[in-house]
Amino acid sequence: MTDGITREKQLLQTFATLADTLVEGYDVVDLLQLLVDSCKDLLDTTAAAILLADPSGELDVVASTSEASRLVELIQLGAEAGPCVESFRTGKVISVPDIRLAPDRWSGFRDGATVQGFASVHAIPMRLRENRIGTLNLLRETTGELDPQDQLTAQAFADVATIGILHERTLRESTLLTEQLERALGSRVVIEQAKGVVAHTRGVGVEEAFDRIRTYARSHRLGISQVASQIVDRSLSLPD
């Protein structure tokens, strides 16, 4: 844990970076990835993930602090029956201070989380007025409510993510929110394909492949989705 002043500095730094990210033509996946990583770095949380709803209202993981399939699978269980989808449907924060006490209808999520050592979860809706677009989910290894200060910060992060996505919409008035969401989810498809390409051509696992794509994007100041689509159309081959 960092002390108060350092933490405040880091938070300011994060919001400044976020503001920088929100320039025209920015990559939504990059923004969301930055947000989940910030949650992990700055809040008392072990793992974080953002889910966005597709046009049929089904939630899909767009960014998570680990690409490990067990975490992604767990979040998706929570998106089928669990706090993640509950928060999306109700538009309210759903806090589960002790996952072991979660109701039976969430048993898939409950058991998966327990096996992976998660003890509590905090799901925050991403919405602006009547538009509900997804949820930000924080998983912790300890039981109990999330620290009130962290709750506020996480809510601010979720709001920034929401505004980021809706803001991109106002940049091109003609496109609908659903198209924006589809685009964000579509870039996730391309990122998964790019992971497959890199995993195959470099002989590494898909998690390692994602790290390589991300590192390349960062060091070349490109968006993750942009790098991914160049990998998929074979115009870019990542260096060893």
Partner 1 sequence: MRSPYDAAFDALERSAAAPADLAVPFVDAFPVSGASVSTLGELLGSETISATDAQAARLDELQFDLGEGPCWDAMRSMRPVLMTDVRTESRQAWPTLSGAIDPDRLGSLFAFPLVFGPLRIGAVDLYSVEPVRLNPDQARRAGAMADVVSRHVLRHALNTSENEFDERPSLHSRRVIHQATGFVLAQLDISPDDARLVIQGHAFATSRSMMDIADDIVAGRMSFIRNAGGIEVSS
Contacts with partner 1 by CB under 8 A lie at 58-61, 69, 72-73, 76, 79-80, 189-190, 192-201, 206, 232, 234
CB of 201 to partner 1, least distance (A): 5
Q: Which is nearer to partner 1, 143 or 193 (CB)?
A: 193
Q: Which residues pair with 135 in a beta bridge?
A: 51, 125
Q: Which is nearer to partner 1, 39 or 62 (CB)?
A: 62
Amino acid in the structure at residue 198: V
Cβ neighbours for 227, distance < 8 A, ≥ 6 positions apart? 194, 213, 216, 217, 220, 236
CB of 122 to partner 1, least distance (A): 21
3-state secondary structure of 14: helix
Q: Which is nearer to partner 1, 195 or 212 (CB)?
A: 195
CB of 77 to partner 1, least distance (A): 9
Q: Which is nearer to partner 1, 22 or 204 (CB)?
A: 204
How many residues does the structure list for the chain? 240
H-type helices in the chain, by residue range? 4-21, 28-42, 69-80, 83-90, 107-115, 148-171, 177-202, 206-219, 224-232
Exposed, middle or buried: residue 104 (CB in 10 Å: 0-12, 13-18, 19+)? exposed
Angle, vertex CA 188, rays to CA 72 and CA 226, nearest 5: 135
CB of 219 to partner 1, least distance (A): 22
Q: Which is nearer to partner 1, 18 or 136 (CB)?
A: 136
Query: 19, 150, 54: which is closest to 93 by C-alpha?
Result: 150
CB of 31 to partner 1, least distance (A): 20
